[in-house]
Each structure stands twice: as structure tokens, then as C-alpha cells.
Amino acid sequence: MVMETKGTQVNKYYRGVNGITYASMNGTVSYYHKDAHGDVTALTDSTGTITKNYMYDSFGNEQAQSEEDTNPFRYAGEYFDAETGQIYLRNRYYDPVTGRFLTEDTYWNIENMIYGDCENNNIPDIDAIIQSGNLYVYCLNNPINLVDSYGLFASNDNLYMGGNNDIEDVKRLQNELKWLGLYTGEKDGIYGPQTKEAVVEYQKRSGLKVDGIVGKDTWLSLGLKLEAIIFYDQVYTIKWENKYTITARVVYQTDEYGNLIYVQNNVEEFDIEVHSPGLNYRITSISAYKQSDTGLGIKVRVQESLGIGIPGKLDISLPLELRTIDIDYVIGKGEYFK
């Protein structure tokens, strides 16, 4: 979320590599201060004066909560819904009172629990096995050391050989190092000697501390973890009936693998570039949606009316609407994935 409005009140939120950094809430600027876990612990004004302090228990229950506090970003730097008391983690809502999600985990399933996946040589995923015991559990019941930004799986910022590393985090790391040409092994989620060697080489080239430990600085340098979401703002050209060209501006986000996680609806910019003599087509709405993990869908609603159309010069439409047409267009993986 970057902005919200209510009547004449406008709140704007600004983000950096560590998530929310400062906000302008109805004209009043607040700067966010966080601890190592990413919890918002204080707000300061433009003079550096502390305007609000926050304290939480390990599962995110805020101590001495104030109903007058309108700041929405709190535990783990995530969005807190004051009306319901839930924390929004994109795929699911988390209830800090019970320490559980409201809905089942959709990431783990029987397939990866028993058979693993092809990138892991079909070895059963130990994290999936652990998680399967309770599909509502938050951060594997270890919220002090772990975070779950997507409501899918817990993760830890520090990876090193011999450590208790999160398999999915190591896979992300290996995926990026492989893309950079530094890692040639399998993306198996195991932080072994070959992975460490690739990390050390990357740290040398990037001017980072060379220790083979993937901490905050290395994650940020790789563009992963704390800035996992990639934003896209692109214009797509949709051909319709081989006569009309619709240009649609779509804003969407992917994770670091290129998987689509969010698209903006009610896209504002669109145009029909060619008109048919005697008939005009008017776009009444356009929306983007997640068609699948490998496809972005764009739905354009068009109304057909009688009128005169001269491309680029004259467009007179009579109010008589003949019919409404829905055009579905799917952008495939090759068109928008990294």
C-alpha cells in the first residue's frame, strides 16, 4: 500500500529496501524505526522527537495499544487492521492473539511433502512435513527468529554453511547466484561448499564483507529478501478482431522468481486506436487479474454504439448502445516473467 484516502484525508506511505520508511499522514510526517526483527518500535516527527513507542510480545500482540493510533504498520513492519485486530500478510491474515493464521497454508501440500519437487531431486521437503502438522501455524511457532512476509512460509535472514537454514531461502539464493553465473550446482536448498564458494565470490565482486554468510547486506545487494517484490508498470498491445488495437497500461508485482502475486485493477490508461466506419467501440472498463502463476489476464469491457469514426479526427457516438463485449487477453510467461 502506498496511499489511502478517506474524505479529504490523504495518507501516503514511502518504502525502501527495509519496507516502510516514512509516511505523510494527513500532512503530518512520521519516520519509522525498527528492531532487528523488522518490528516498528517507534515513530518520530521531522525534528526527531519520538511521537509513539511500540512494544510487542513474541507473537506480535501489541502492548498498551491505543485506539487513537492510526498508524497501520506495526509488528514485523506489516499492515495491522485495527478494526479486526488481524495482520495482513498478503496471502493470508494472521491473528496475533491466537498466534495462528485464519486460513490454511496453501503453499505446502501432499505433493511437496511426500515427493519434494524436481529441483530438490524429488526428496521430501522437511519443512513441508513440519508445516503439515498444523496448516494454521505462524512461523513454525518460532516468531522470535523467523518472519513470514507472504503468509506462506517462514524465513530467516541469515544463511551460512552448517547453519539451520531455511530450504526455500537457500533455493532463492542459489537461483540468483545461478542467474549471475556464479553457481552451477543444483537448486537443492542445501547450503553446501559450492553455494558458499559462490557467495564468497559474489561478496568479493560486490565489495561486501567476505565471510560466506548471507546476512542483511548480501541479501540487499542481491536484491532479494527485503526487496523480494518486483514492480512492473508496462503497456501491452491487444489485437482484437484483427481490426482494433487496444493499448492497456497494467501495473503488477512478482516475487523474485517471477511468480505473479498481485495486479492492479481498474487500470486508468487505455485507448482504442482504430475505429470502424459506422460503428464505434468505447472501452467502459479494463482490469488485470492473476490468471495463473504463469499468466496475467487482462479483461477489457467494450460497448458498441452507432456513430461516425474517422481515425484521429472525429469520433461522434450516438447514445444508442448495441451490445457489451468482454475481451479476455492472457499474457503468457515469456511476456512478463524475468
The confidence score (pLDDT) of residue 69 equals: 92
Task: Select from 208, 228, 248 the last residue of a domain.
Answer: 228
Whether 204 and 165 share a structural domain: yes
Tell me, what CATH number does 191's domain have? 1.10.101.10
Residue whose C-alpha is closest to residue 282's, from 320, 239, 235: 320
The confidence score (pLDDT) of residue 90 equals: 84
Q: Is the torsion defined by CA of 174, 38, 228, 111 positive or negative?
A: positive
> At CA 97, angle to CA 94 and CA 102, rounded to 5?
35
Whether 282 and 317 share a structural domain: yes
Q: Is residue 144 part of a domain?
A: no
Whether 86 and 9 share a structural domain: yes
The confidence score (pLDDT) of residue 226 equals: 37
Number of domains in the chain: 3
The confidence score (pLDDT) of residue 228 equals: 36
Whether 200 and 283 share a structural domain: no
- HEC states along 222-270? HCCCCCCCEEEEEEEEEEECCCEEEEEEEEEEECCCCCEEEECCCCCCE
Task: Select from 194, 228, 262 the last residue of a domain.
Answer: 228
Q: Is residue 187 part of a domain?
A: yes
Whether 177 and 202 share a structural domain: yes
Measured between alpha carbons, how far is residue 159 from residues 164, 168, 186, 281 in Å? 8, 11, 17, 56
Q: Is residue 238 part of a domain?
A: yes
C-alpha cell belonging to residue 74: 506495526
Spatial separation of the C-alpha atoms in residues 44 and 73, rounded to whole Å? 14
C-alpha cell belonging to residue 59: 507473537
The confidence score (pLDDT) of residue 220 equals: 64
Whether 203 and 262 share a structural domain: no
Kindly list the averaged pLDDT for each block of 10 residues, start to end, along the chain of length 338.
90 82 92 89 94 94 90 94 92 94 79 58 63 82 82 70 75 85 90 93 88 76 50 61 64 56 51 53 66 64 61 49 66 42
Q: Is residue 141 part of a domain?
A: no
Beta strands in 279-337 (DSSP E): 279-292, 295-310, 314-332
Q: Is residue 139 part of a domain?
A: no
The confidence score (pLDDT) of residue 288 equals: 65
Spatial separation of the C-alpha atoms in residues 338 and 333, rounded to whole Å? 9
Model-level pTM? 0.49
Single-letter amino acid code for the residue at 297: G
Q: Is residue 245 part of a domain?
A: yes
The DSSP secondary-structure symbol of 84 reads T
Measured between alpha carbons, how far is residue 306 from residues 240, 315, 317 in Å? 19, 11, 6
Whether 244 and 296 share a structural domain: yes
- Rounded to a whole number of angstroms, the CA Rg of the chain reads 24
3, 10 in Cβ contact below 8 A? yes
Whether 90 and 54 share a structural domain: yes
Spatial separation of the C-alpha atoms in residues 174 and 256, rounded to whole Å? 12
The confidence score (pLDDT) of residue 295 equals: 60
Whether 33 and 79 share a structural domain: yes
Q: Is the torsion defined by CA of 69, 74, 79, 81 positive or negative?
A: negative
User: What domain range includes position 175?
Assistant: 156-228
Q: Is residue 138 part of a domain?
A: no
Whether 295 and 216 share a structural domain: no
Task: Select from 165, 199, 228 the last residue of a domain.
Answer: 228
Spatial separation of the C-alpha atoms in residues 208 and 190, rounded to whole Å? 22
Spatial separation of the C-alpha atoms in residues 270 and 134, rounded to whole Å? 46
The confidence score (pLDDT) of residue 196 equals: 93
Q: Is residue 127 part of a domain?
A: no
Whether 240 and 213 share a structural domain: no
* Residues 81, 86, 89, 94, Cα dihedral to 10°: 180
